[in-house]
Amino acid sequence: MQKVQLKELLEEMTIDEKIDQLLQLSADFYSEKAEERTGPMADLAIEQANIDQAGTILGVSGAQEAIRIQKEYMAKHRLHIPAILMADIIHGFRTIFPIPLAIGSSWDESLVKQMAEISAQEAAVSGLHVTFSPMVDLVRDPRWGRVMESTGEDSYLNARLARAMVKGYQGNDLKNDFTRVASCVKHFAAYGAPIAGRDYNTVNMSERQLRGKYLTGYQEAINAGAKLVMTSFNTVDGMPATGNKWLINKLLRKEFGFSGVVISDFGSVKELVAHGVAENEKEAAQLALSAGVDIEMMTSCYAHALKELISEEKITEANLNEAVWRVLVLKNDLGLFEHPYRGADVAQEKMLVLSEEHRQKARETAQKTIVLLKNQEKVLPLSKEETIAILGPGTTSQDILGSWSWQGQKKEAISLHTGAKQYTNNLLYANEIYDYFEPTQKAFDEAIELAKKADKVVLALGETDWMSGEAASRSDIRLPQSQRILFDEIRKVANKVVVTLYNGRPLDLSVLDSADAIVEAWFPGTEGGQALADILWGAVNPSGRLSMSFPASVGQVPIYYDVDSTGRPYEVSPQEKYVSKYLDESVYAKYPFGFGLSYSSVEYNGLKLDKQTLEVGEVLQVTVTLNNLSEKATRETVQLYIRDVVGEVVRPIKELKAFHQVEIAAGKSKEVQFEIDESMLRYIHRDQTSRSDEGLFECLVGPNSRDLLQKEFYLNK
């Protein structure tokens, strides 16, 4: 539709029709079964007219159902305006990929883009138009359950992967390419920093830290063209994001130049009352609309109060029109006026969803997200000749999709046991299913007996999917007690113990200190158990690098690699008493950001800079040589960090600024090059502007954020 027609449409709409365009209701309001509608309707105290005119619908799935709902909806709508169908496709639609925290450990933008493309294809053919992804909240506290949904603790890595996801979801022609969906970046802003790691809790940080660390991912997603932004549940400087005029109207819309749709999170408009910044739903509606929130998800403050607020001149009809206009533009950008069913296609859906090709891509993705944390005396990879006992709750578990796998079906997931049979029949495994929390004595005894008979034990441990995700914070981030006991007892009788982990957060793995090997598989998705077996039996050389630090214990949390320097840095004088440290714990992560082993051994040396002083407008060439000392080809993620030694404000001891993934053949060497320019040295100053200072910098290059070669250079301005 031409813009002029859209304007005419807006003018033709009644005020009730406009207000309902800003209402998002869940799919059960459109269910064919009336009884599924009445409950939710009563909860929201809305009328059938609101339902018939609600501008967007949450959580419809299946081409047939999407077509039915859209057809009935448009027939009922006086102006036949189509609805937008939105849902959470976070890491796959029906073919489930590894969770985003695992995806972050791939450091592979093209892989991430492909994941988004496949997710969009399956979602679009099933009738959906928008996904509430990527979630780009920076995370530094593994107690928070939603770390599983983020690509980790580094704003630079998050930004690069966020761009890849938006491009994968949206493609280049959203209006005509019906294999794509619009991307909604979330949760704006800084939802990943709740005090004490407790979901929905207060967020408290300076504007400078917000701008310098937490906003980068959202900005990059918006620069990549994300069509929507979702506000977060938390406060930003004492004001909930969903009612925060500074955050939305000033920062997002004016400073970032975002002109698309802003949607609240589920119920977060009404929650302004619970936060204590609105007396009632009417004040909540006024706050949210004035702040710039266009769509109210699953509460009815707008539906109940906007008309009155306009008549009392507390908001203007122009405010209302602006919000409705953005929703109509989004519908037009999706091509919905001409093609209200867009990509929905029942026949195509049967062929495309969970296709073998998609499964294979999910398997390849999972292989590249798995992180080898420990491999003592090369106990891995396993060989066909060895008798392997696969024990513990993860052996046959199909609970490997993660908590945001919505349409994913656990019964379609490949377990580790099934995957292992591709490689060997020389397997011992228990007949009894081993419970994650309360195994039977029989299962326990059987496991111990089998452990004695095996050459090596693969002990599959971890979390269940409900232990991470939304409203799933944990104060104790160790493995469940029964699993810790199982490990201790098996350790006593087994020859070699390889622990594999399914989990949605960095865990305190101190109980596993005596394990011979530890393999972090996260929640690896529909093909996860197969990918894990591919790694264990050496068909694939592990290449994952941690997207988030693993603490030595929860007492260190929040822990992350890019810490600011302090006045008494531990690193400088670790023996000193009066330095920043603990009496009872290391100051370092157990496994740091960017860490991961492979079955190869790669030496980094010969770090060279082509100049000592960098001038503005120039480029400083960085070269490092990698030697693969092993007989196995490998994939290395070479990481470049920079330290600004003296700043206007305290600066981090290092920050990731670039990375390259390189394949190195067995026994070969490879030279890897980076370029540093002045823009990479900029940071947020006290006046909230981003610029660089001249002076001394350190260039640090290596396989992770800890083991780094270092050279100094100067920036001259």
Residues recognised as catalytic: 265
Phi/psi of residue 284, nearest 5 degrees: -65, -45
The count of chain residues that interact with ligand GLC, using the rule CB under 6 A, is 6
17 CB-near residues (< 8 Å, 6+ apart): 53, 78, 79, 81
Q: Is 93 in the site for ligand GLC (CB under 6 A)?
A: no
> Considering beta carbons, is residue 265 or 678 the nearer one to ligand GLC?
265
State the nearest-atom distance from the C-beta of 114 to ligand GLC, in Å. Answer: 23
- Cα torsion 358, 360, 361, 365 to 10°: value is 140
> Considering beta carbons, is residue 186 or 304 the nearer one to ligand GLC?
186
> Considering beta carbons, is residue 131 or 500 the nearer one to ligand GLC?
131
State the nearest-atom distance from the C-beta of 301 to ligand GLC, in Å. Answer: 17
> Considering beta carbons, is residue 56 or 464 the nearer one to ligand GLC?
56
Q: Is 199 in the site for ligand GLC (CB under 6 A)?
A: no
> Considering beta carbons, is residue 188 or 423 the nearer one to ligand GLC?
188
Distance CA(398)–CA(414), nearest Å, equals 7
> Considering beta carbons, is residue 268 or 415 the nearer one to ligand GLC?
268
State the nearest-atom distance from the C-beta of 186 to ligand GLC, in Å. Answer: 6
State the nearest-atom distance from the C-beta of 470 to ligand GLC, in Å. Answer: 6
Distance CA(254)–CA(244), nearest Å, equals 14
Among 17, 20, 88, 399, binds ligand GLC (CB under 6 A): 88
Distance CA(601)–CA(599), nearest Å, equals 7
Distance CA(411)–CA(415), nearest Å, equals 10
Q: Is 144 in the site for ligand GLC (CB under 6 A)?
A: no
Q: Is 435 in the site for ligand GLC (CB under 6 A)?
A: no
| Identity of residue 613 | T
Residues in region 41-70 near ligand GLC by CB under 6 A: none
> Which residue spans within 59-140 are E strands per DSSP?
84-87, 130-131
Distance CA(658)–CA(637), nearest Å, equals 10
State the nearest-atom distance from the C-beta of 241 to ligand GLC, in Å. Answer: 12
Q: How many CA atoms lie within 13 A of 692 on its CB side?
A: 23
Among 266, 537, 697, 713, binds ligand GLC (CB under 6 A): 266
| ∠ Cα 569 204 580 (to 5°) | 15
| ∠ Cα 544 545 550 (to 5°) | 120
Q: How many CA atoms lie within 13 A of 517 on its CB side?
A: 29
Q: Is 132 in the site for ligand GLC (CB under 6 A)?
A: yes
> Considering beta carbons, is residue 149 or 345 the nearer one to ligand GLC?
149
Q: Is 186 in the site for ligand GLC (CB under 6 A)?
A: yes
Distance CA(575)–CA(579), nearest Å, equals 9
Residues 433 and 557 sit within 8 Å (Cβ to Cβ): no
Q: Is 122 in the site for ligand GLC (CB under 6 A)?
A: no
DSSP per-residue letters across 254-280: IIS---SEEE--TTTTTHHHHHTS-SS
Q: Is 368 in the site for ligand GLC (CB under 6 A)?
A: no
Helix (H) or strand (E) holding 193: none
- Cα torsion 509, 511, 514, 518 to 10°: value is -30
State the nearest-atom distance from the C-beta of 265 to ligand GLC, in Å. Answer: 5
> Considering beta carbons, is residue 171 or 267 the nearer one to ligand GLC?
267
> Considering beta carbons, is residue 317 or 470 the nearer one to ligand GLC?
470
Q: Is 374 in the site for ligand GLC (CB under 6 A)?
A: no
Neighbours of 425 (CB within 10 A): 7
Phi-psi sector, 263: left (phi>0), alpha (psi -120 to 50), beta:
beta
Taken in order 476, 595, 368, 455, the sign of the CA dihedral is: negative
State the nearest-atom distance from the C-beta of 624 to ligand GLC, in Å. Answer: 40
> Considering beta carbons, is residue 266 or 560 the nearer one to ligand GLC?
266
Q: Is 28 in the site for ligand GLC (CB under 6 A)?
A: no
State the nearest-atom distance from the C-beta of 145 to ligand GLC, in Å. Answer: 11
State the nearest-atom distance from the C-beta of 90 to ligand GLC, in Å. Answer: 8
Q: Is 91 in the site for ligand GLC (CB under 6 A)?
A: no
Helix (H) or strand (E) holding 586: none
State the nearest-atom distance from the C-beta of 77 to ligand GLC, in Å. Answer: 24
Q: Is 697 in the site for ligand GLC (CB under 6 A)?
A: no
* Burial of 504 per CB tally in 10 Å (0-12, 13-18, 19+): buried
Taken in order 341, 347, 353, 355, the sign of the CA dihedral is: negative
Among 154, 265, 516, 520, binds ligand GLC (CB under 6 A): 265
Among 386, 455, 470, 615, binds ligand GLC (CB under 6 A): 470
Sites of contact with ligand GLC (CB under 6 A): 88, 132, 186, 265-266, 470
